Amino acid sequence: MEVILAIVIGVLGGSGVWLVLRPRTFQVLMGLSLLSYAVNLFIFAMGSLLLAREPIVQAGVAPTLENYTDPLPQSLVLTAIVIGFATSALFLVVMMALRGLTGNDHVDGQERDG
């Protein structure tokens, strides 16, 4: 499970970096989204990868790794998803305004030859 999750995080991160370095603004937006997904998965995995465990301490049971899943990374990821959606929407509006003002969708505002 950990190896698969590490590979998925690596692929998402690598694809995100590749797309961020592209010249078109929509590709940059998709790259930022992929990077945020990779970071969210990484933070979520830091909580623990236990299945069928409660995210709180049970009454009368000492909190150990066998019976406890940390809820803080889960709440941080939930907050990051909401903030990422809002910033993506804002970036999309700015991209549409830039496209209307300049007539192209290149990051530096200039069309490249070839």
User: In the chain, where are the structural domains located?
Assistant: 2-53+67-102
pTM of the shown model: 0.75
Q: What are phi and psi of 91, to 5 degrees?
A: -65, -35
Q: Which of 15, 66, 73, 71 is nearest to 42 (CA)?
A: 73
Contact 42, 27 (CB under 8 A): no
pLDDT per position as a tens digit, 9-25 = 999 999 999 999 998 88
Residue 46 pLDDT: 81
Nearest C-alpha neighbor of 67 from the set 52, 81, 82? 52
pLDDT band of residue 2 (cuts 50, 70, 90) is confident
For residues 91 and 29, is the Cβ–Cβ distance under 8 A? yes
Residues in contact with 89: Cβ distance below 8 Å, sequence separation at least 6, in sequence order: none
Is the model more confident about 24 or about 7?
Answer: 7
The domain over range 2-53+67-102 is classified in CATH as 1.10.287: yes
Q: What is the pLDDT of residues 23-81, one digit of tens each?
A: 888 899 999 999 999 999 998 888 766 666 665 666 666 666 566 667 788 888 999 99
Question: What pLDDT sits at residue 114?
Answer: 52
The per-residue pLDDT for 12 is 95
